[in-house]
Structure 1
Amino acid sequence: MINSELWRLNATDLIALTRSGDVSAEDSVRSAIERMHQANPDLNAVVEDLSAEALERARSLDQARSKGIAPGPLHGVPVTIKVNVDQKGHATTNGVVALKNLIAPDDAPVVTNLQNAGAVVIGRTNTPEFSFRADTDNQLYGRTHNPWGRHISPGGSSGGAGAAVMAGIGALAHGNDIGGSLRFPAAANGAVTVKPGLGRVPAWNPSQTAERGLLAQSMSVQGLITRSAADLHLAMPSLIETDPRDPFHVPMPWRGSDSEGTIKVAFTKNTFGYALHPEVEKALDTAREALTDAGYDIKEVDPPDVFECGRAGYRALMGEVMTLLQGDITAAGSQTIKDIFGVYFQEFPPIVETELVRMLAKRTYYAREWSLFLQDYHLVLSPFLPQPFFKPNRDTEGAEGVHEVLGCAVYSYAMNFLGLPAACVPARLADLPNGPQPINVQIAARRWREDLAVDAAAAIEARVGPMAPVLWDKLETSV
């Protein structure tokens, strides 16, 4: 492969070349930058181009290697960082015009960990205002587009990250997830991710002036969106490195015990009254068949009530948002985001005051129910969304739009409320009237067993195949 085509490689294949010395860090990064300059103008996924400093860092990595310094586990791998996380010397805008000059005094733990491992940041990716939509658009940077076509939202809030990595702009894309913001973009773009469990990845923004609310702290996690499950196994061990700035980080190895025996999977198609689209059902059947053939023990059984848990959790989160963030949204948000939050509060009536304290206590009840269920099952295979991914701006279309975008996504935000890990992987490429569209499924896992969820995602990917080469063929034939 010529150096200009290195952007096509996933991180696992690329690192084999950079760590062996067959490819320089500079060549790896330069190829990704050239791809960014080619693809990003049509996508608006990367909203801050860091080409110059990325090439400078890549050269310094090559120089260090020439002096005998061992390369890191992500040596020369190009990555992107979402604009709601601190990167020293750059604005942590969170997609908000009023924050365009909020320059980070230092790196957040995820940025530190990626760079310590040898990764090179080539750009910062778009997010909706306050990172609180499942779509990605804002008045500061504008709309991000899905590389599969403009009839599909790129997802949110890590929509820039999902669109970038699937377009070949960096082999790894940083994102975060408080209710689905890693998994929505993965599902929208046909990428792979795992939402880590509570305490797994250290998090903190040095630019923040106050601590986040308790639910924001316990539901929000940092992670990666990738083109292959193998890349999560490659990169997540670096992301979970301890950082003392997060006092609640749990220092555990990425891989758990190997003495699990046959992995038992609870399989459900239950969508709690929401219509299950035939293409989503086909994706679920394919995922089940792939895991069965890979040696997993699958049993069709419903887990504890994810609908009640998910809705309660998101209503509690809305109560915290109303209490702590509504003033900022009112003062600095666009009319679009104000209107969306107005509908959020209708779809998820906020739990506040004494009832919020009671719901925070009841969170342990829900978590215990799932913990007991997961004594019998290692994993839960379920829909992510009951329907194919929605169109751009669907959440601006009143109560019906918000209901389609978030109301039905209980399998997503329930995992945040529970603090459990959950992978999201494409299991089908659907041929829909507007064109081909990936369909993702979700794999929830026992606490601390992100690795098992990613293993299962890899087994499904082995059956279905990665989506990126199909996407790139589509893009090349349409030019």
Structure 2
Amino acid sequence: MTQGDIWRFDATELAALTQAGELSAKEVISDALERMHQVNPSLNAVVDDLGTEALERASALDQARRNGASVGPLHGVPVTIKVNVDQKNHATTNGVVALKDVIAPDDAPVVSNLHNAGAIVIGRTNTPEFSFRADTDNPLHGRTHNPWGRHISPGGSSGGAGAAVMAGIGALAHGNDIGGSLRFPAAANGAVTVKPGLGRVPAWNPSQKAERGMLAQSMSVQGLITRSAKDLHLSMPTLIAPDARDPFHVPMPWRGAGPDVPIKVAFTKNTFEYALHPEVDKALSTAREALVDAGYIVEDIDPPDVFECGRIGYRALMGEVLTLMKNDIEAAGSQTIRDIFEVYFQEFPPIVGDELIQALAQRSHYARQWSLFMQKYPLVLSPFLPQPFFKPDRDTEGAEGVHEVLGCAVYSYAMNFLGLPAASVPARLAELPNGPQPINVQIAARRWREDMAVDAAVAIEARVGQMAPILWDRMSAQT
């Protein structure tokens, strides 16, 4: 191990080395910053460099260790934070020019929890305007590029997080997800994530002036994007630590009771009205084989109606957006984001008024159907998107573009509406005309059982391998 190679270690490896005293926090952070300064100029994933305070924190942690202080589970692990979450004394821009001077008075719960575990924030990552695109670009910070190539969107809204962690900028990347904003960047960049279920991770921004709408509260969650599935088992117990500022947080342990074994997995390739691309088909088959080899029982069976649930859920969310956000978008958004929202409202006709109340009531019906189904099948293996990830700015190309980007992503936002956890893990590296591109699959799990979804992701990753080393070789060859 030499200086200049430390950034290659994943979070689990780094934590073991720092806890054993084989690496100091300052050594780890110095190397992470060097990597960030090397590759970020071409990616624009990190838009706020926190190198100076990161080194100061690393030195303080090293001194505390020398004085006999105990170390946390993420001692010295470099992380990034998305710019739509409060970090004390830094701007919570949400990708909006008008918010560039909104300085957070305190840390959000996820930032506090990461700090308490010994993690060190090295930078803040990019997001689209209002964090409401599956791509990442905005007039304030500019476009984020996918490290696999500029022909692939980096995903959104946590596109900066996904691009950063896969390029080797930090071992963990914070993000959030109201309709897929952790899983889109994971799929775009070949990373791993788990969208936590409702109430799992405490959330609140001390800088906010008003409470969010009910669907924003119940569909949006905080999480992490990683290079390896096992890093989620290391880091997510930190993220779910209680915080009284979120009165609806559910303080449950990361690991639940051991389920009946072997675990049954419902397997579906149903993509409804959307054609299943051959490369996604192959990825799903590989994921299935990996789970079977790992001892799971995988059965071909469709879960309860994902299409109806997902479409109703996103239309209801658009109704809330129309009511609570439309004026802000019109006043502070660019013409690009205003145009995109107009097409969103066409693709997902907003449910408002009495019908919105009825749709919220119907949410319990969908959740009950899934709860009963998952008594027999605790996991559901499905596509995430029916086709390989789309190109940058595809969602600016009118109805057809938005339909490809979000319209077909029902397996994504259905899980938000249901409040169920869902992991995303690469299951294939496709050779496409523009070059190699990772293909991720989704694993939904019973309520409160993020750990089971991650276990399945670990099994798939064991068969397929991590995408990061392949990506790094490719990046080196291009430079």
TM tier, shorter chain?
over 0.9
Deviations 1:209-264 (A, max 9, x none): 11000000000000000000000000000000000000000000000112432111
What's the counterpart of residue 342 of structure 2? 342
Q: How does 1:418-433 map onto structure 2 within 5 Å?
A: 418-433=418-433
Looking at structure 2, the residues matched to 154 and 294 of structure 1 have their Cα atoms a distance apart, in angstroms, of 31
| Residue type of the alignment partner of 1:428 | R
**Does 2:453 align with 1:456?**
no
Separation (CA, whole Å) in 2 of partners of 1:133 and 1:237: 28
What's the counterpart of residue 243 of structure 2? 243
Counterpart residue type for residue 236 of structure 2: M
Work out the CA distance in 1 between the residues paired with 2:183 and 2:172: 15
Q: 1:300: Cα distance to partner?
A: 0.4
- Residues in 1 aligned to 2:62 and 2:419: alpha-carbon distance in whole angstroms: 40
Tell me the distance in 2 between the aligned counterparts of 1:300 and 1:260.
19
**Cα offset, 1:284, TM superposition:** 0.1
Give the SS at the match of 2:437: strand
CA distance in 2, matches of 1:148, 1:100: 29
Deviation (angstroms), 1:273? 1.6
> Residue 403 and residue 62 in structure 1: after superposition, are their counterparts in 2 closer, same or farther (change >3 A)?
same
Task: State the percentage of identical aligned residues.
Answer: 80
Unaligned runs of 5+ in 1: none
Cα separation, 1, equivalents of 2:248 and 2:264 = 30
Amino acid aligned to 1:338 = R
Q: Partner of 1:4: helix, strand, or coil?
A: coil
Distance 1:236 1:227 in 2: 14
Give the corresponding residue for 1:405. Answer: 405
Cα distance in 2 for residues equivalent to 1:64 and 1:354: 58
Alpha-carbon distance, 1:3 to partner: 2.5
Query: In structure 2, what is the Cα distance between the partners aligned to 1:439 and 1:431?
Result: 10
Matched, 1:204 2:204: yes
Cα displacement string for residues 168-204 of structure 1 (whole angstroms, at most 9, x for unaligned residues) = 0000000000000000000000000000000000000
Specify the code of the residue in structure 1 equivalent to 2:418: L
Distance 2:475 2:129 in 1: 29
Count residues with an aligned counterpart. Answer: 479
Structure 2 residue ranges without an equivalent (≥5): none
Letter in 1 for 2:10: N
What secondary structure sits across from 2:148 in the alignment? coil
Letter paired with 1:229: A
Report what 1:54 is aligned to. 54
Structure 2 distance, partners of 1:477, 1:418, is: 43
- Residue aligning to 2:329: 329
Q: Normalising by structure 2, report the TM-score.
A: 1.00
In structure 2, C-alpha distance between the alignment counterparts of 1:58 and 1:363, rounded to whole Å: 46
Aligned to 2:309: 309
Q: 1:318 Cα deviation (Å)? A: 0.1
CA distance in 2, matches of 1:353, 1:139: 34
Cα distance between partner residues in 1 of 2:340 and 2:416 = 21
Q: CA deviation at 1:27?
A: 0.4
The letter for the 1-side match of 2:213 is G
Aligned to 1:14: 14
Q: Mapping of 1:92-241 within 5 angstroms?
A: 92-241=92-241
SS of the counterpart of 1:425?
strand
Deviations 1:84-140 (A, max 9, x none): 000000000000000000000000000000000000000000000000000000000
Report 1:242-391 matches (<5 A).
242-391=242-391
Tell me the secondary structure at the aligned position of residue 56 of structure 1.
helix
Q: Which residue of 1 aligns with 2:40?
A: 40
Return structure 1 stretches of 4+ with deviation > 3 angstroms: none
What letter corresponds to residue 341 of structure 2 in structure 1?
Answer: F
| SS in structure 2 of the partner of residue 36 of structure 1 | helix
SS of residue paired to 1:238: helix
The 3-state SS of whatever aligns with 2:162 is helix
Which whole-Å CA distance do the structure 2 matches of 1:131 and 1:364 have between them? 27
Indicate the residue corresponding to 2:444 in structure 1: 444
For 2:124 and 2:474, how far apart are their aligned partners in 1?
26
Counterpart for residue 71 of structure 1: 71
Question: 1:476 and 1:89 mapped to 2: Cα distance?
Answer: 36
What is the CA distance between 1:287 and its match in structure 2? 0.1
- Aligned-pair RMSD on alpha carbons? 0.4
Letter in 1 for 2:60: S
Q: How many angstroms apart in 2 are the aligned matches of 1:405 and 1:31?
A: 36
- Offset at 1:17? 0.4
The amino acid of 1:164's aligned partner reads A
Letter in 2 for 1:197: G
Q: Distance in 2 between matches of 1:452 and 1:139?
A: 40
TM-score (norm. length: structure 1): 1.00
Write out per-residue CA displacement over residues 271-322 of structure 1, whole angstroms, 9 at most, x where no aligned residue. 0020100000000000000000000000000000000000000000000000
